[in-house]
Amino acid sequence: MLTGLDHLVVTVTDISRAVDFYTRVLGLEARYQEAERVDLMLGDTALRLHQTDTESSPKAAHPTPGSIDLCVRSVLPLKEVQAHLETLQVPIEEGPVPRRGVQGPITSLYLRDPDGNLIEICRPDRG
């Protein structure tokens, strides 16, 4: 019945600050729908940013900035990702650490976006 995820809404306090983080730090492409709604492209899926003070409807019953825990896969080795984050002075909260992904063992780095959402960047372990 279902084939995948089209978009995931991320509630933020400041759209421009969030767009800067997700484009500059994570390299996502921003596609503007309107001033209070921006899609950040992650392959064929979008992280759709909604600002807390918008009248968008329908929405979650209690949209809260900083409540997402998101794991994204990297095509780059995590050492390169880590060097990129260090260059941008983005603190790494934890990692690299071994974890279990949907398709098997992964290694992950953890950081936070400007609203405190937990972002896990993983890379599948090659056996």
Domains of the chain in start order, with CATH, are 7-124 (3.10.180.10)
Q: Which residue has the higher pLDDT, 81 or 63?
A: 81
Residues 39-60 have a mean pLDDT of 88
Both tokens of residue 54?
């918008």
For position 34, what pLDDT does the model report? 74
For position 61, what pLDDT does the model report? 85
* Interatomic CA distance for residues 116 and 93, integer angstroms: 11
Both tokens of residue 82?
């880590």
pTM (two decimals): 0.91
* Interatomic CA distance for residues 18 and 52, integer angstroms: 12
For position 127, what pLDDT does the model report? 60
- Concatenate the DSSP letters of all residues of 41-66 into one string: EETTEEEEEEETT---SS--SS--TT
Active site residues: 120
For 72-109, how does the pLDDT look when each residue is reduced to its tens digit (9 = 90+)? 999 999 999 999 999 999 999 999 999 999 999 999 99
Q: How confident is the model at residue 60 (pLDDT cuts 50, 70, 90)?
A: confident
Contacts 24+ apart (CB under 8 A), 24-28: 24/88, 25/84, 25/85, 25/88, 25/90, 26/72, 26/119, 26/121
For 8-44, how does the pLDDT look when each residue is reduced to its tens digit (9 = 90+)? 999 999 999 999 999 999 999 999 987 677 999 999 9
